[in-house]
Structure 1
Amino acid sequence: MLHAITPPAKDDVFVTKLLDKLKVEYEPEMVPIRPEPYAKPLNCFPNVMEKVKRDGGRIHYGWAIHKTTILCEAERHAVWEDEQEKFVDITPTEVQAEYTLFAPDNEGFEYTGQATDNVRINITGNPVVDDFIRVNETLSKIHAYGTREVDMYMSLPDAALELHHYYQALKNALQEFIYMGGTPKKRCLCQGPDRYKNCHGKSIGPRTKADLRKLKAILGKAGRSA
């Protein structure tokens, strides 16, 4: 039997730090997850828009707060607000869960198809996690050159697609390295002769900046209309 994933507590110290970084006005709350039959995972904005068409109410924007053993992370999210101003998360999750920790943040945001990166903080003392965050941010900037086609499928120009493949593989390798106990003083994730801090730990920062500059030179400024 699968056990539901429990969201972090509202008063968790890292949740508090993340909310300070987000500068949201309202306190987060536990919102029940009750997926609609037509709702699709990772598709919260169209899901709630469809719910409003069918049943009234309105869409409410904010952030879904997640926590792992290495990160506390906020993901742009939408829930359905009924006529009594109660929130319901109608989007199915990829893992079994009963509640979403949701921080309301309607001000200044309206979904029109744009990509919005997650906001992350390192909850460990491991600098490799900072590199993992940097690679995730780089992937988001690459994805800003894409366009949505069917459902959540994204089409990327060739130059962006090539970088996507590289940084997605690096993200996966970094995550595995971290969960296997990787630190700056351990042998690098590439299995070369050097420690991480003298190999990928030294090159990731400069390379991400150089690759994004090159992508901008080829494709121009990203429209962020993914």
Structure 2
Amino acid sequence: MRVEPGAVFRYCFQAVADKVARDGGACVYGWMIWEYPGFLVEGEFHAIWQDPAGALVDISPKPDGEQLILFLADSTRCWNYRPTPSVRLPLSMDQRVLNTIVQAVATDWLRMKYWDGEEARIPPQAHLEFMKDPISNFLRTGRNDSCGCGSGKKFKQCCLPMIQKCL
């Protein structure tokens, strides 16, 4: 891993695009895998730089200064300038683990709903209201309603399957 000067945490897509424009190579999309031992495994959509010689290099800074990541390339995905929900799998059926996943999914959902093209500007009251009872808020959306994340897809074809995995 080589953190690129000027790269900002959570902005891997822009950092890699800038690197490709400056030094050549290619952008590779995929999933950065995090394990929280005994708790959950999370796949976060991520971009890394493929240098002109073909080596894969992560140039984005990490929250805790990690120097090594597990990255799985995914040629079926590309950055569409909207947040991509993380994939989370529990390592335990403990209610605390499941609640954490539901809360994280709710946060992803709100982030997508309030995305303005650059960042999610979630009104504090919307977040507080939603988080009081995220399950009920998800369930108020009908299967054939437009998904609240703003994707334009029906709820049943968008966020519902992800939510059902966590219930």
Q: Please give the range of the TM-score, normalised by the shorter of the 2 chains.
A: 0.7 to 0.9
Does residue 77 of structure 1 match 2:64? no
State the identity as a percent: 26
Q: 1:54 to 1:139 in 2, by over 3 A?
A: same
The answer for the alignment partner of 2:11 in structure 1 is 43
TM-score normalised to structure 1 length: 0.58
Q: Give the superposed CA RMSD.
A: 2.7
Distance 1:128 1:38, change over 3 A: same
Q: How many residues align?
A: 150
Deviation at 1:221, TM superposition (A): 4.7
Q: State the SS of the aligned residue for 1:155.
A: coil
- Letter paired with 2:149: A
Q: 1:125 aligns with which of 85, 90, 93?
A: 93
Would you say 1:105 and 2:87 are equivalent positions? no
Name the structure 1 match of 2:155: none
1:21 match: none
Deviation of 1:207 (Å): 4.7
Give 1:166 shift.
4.3
Gaps of 5+ in 1: 1-32, 171-202
Counterpart in 2 of 1:146? Answer: 114
Equivalent of residue 58 in structure 2, options 81, 84, 89: 89
TM-score (norm 2): 0.77
> What SS does structure 2 have at the residue aligned with 1:66?
strand
SS in 1 for 2:8: coil
Structure 2 counterpart of 1:88, one-letter code: V
Match in the other structure for 2:136: 206
Larger radius of gyration: 1
Q: Is the 8 A contact 1:149 1:155 kept in 2?
A: no
Q: 1:165 aligns with which of 112, 115, 128?
A: 128
Per-residue deviation, residues 24-49 of structure 1 (Å, max 9, x unmatched): xxxxxxxxx21111110011101100
Alpha-carbon contact 1:58-1:82 (below 8 Å) kept: yes
1:223 is matched with 150
Instruction: Give unpaired runs (5+ residues) of structure 2.
Output: 153-167
Indicate how the Cα distance of structure 1 residues 142 and 53 shifts in structure 2: closer, same or farther if over 3 A, else same: same
Distance 1:47 1:204, change over 3 A: closer
The residue identity in structure 2 corresponding to 1:138 is A
Residue 130 and residue 88 in structure 1: after superposition, are their counterparts in 2 closer, same or farther (change >3 A)? same
Match of 1:154, SS state, is coil
Q: How many Å separate the matches in 2 of 1:163 and 1:223?
A: 15
* Deviation (angstroms), 1:129: 1.3
Correspondent of 1:115 among 83, 90, 95: 83
Per-residue deviation, 1:118:
0.6
Distance 1:204 1:82, change over 3 A: closer
CA displacement, residues 107-155 of structure 1 (integer Å, 9 cap, x when unaligned): 2x221211111101111231331122122112211221223466xx422
Measured in 1, the distance between the counterparts of 2:28 and 2:114 equals 26
Is the contact between residue 83 and residue 112 of structure 2 (CA under 8 Å) also seen in structure 1? yes
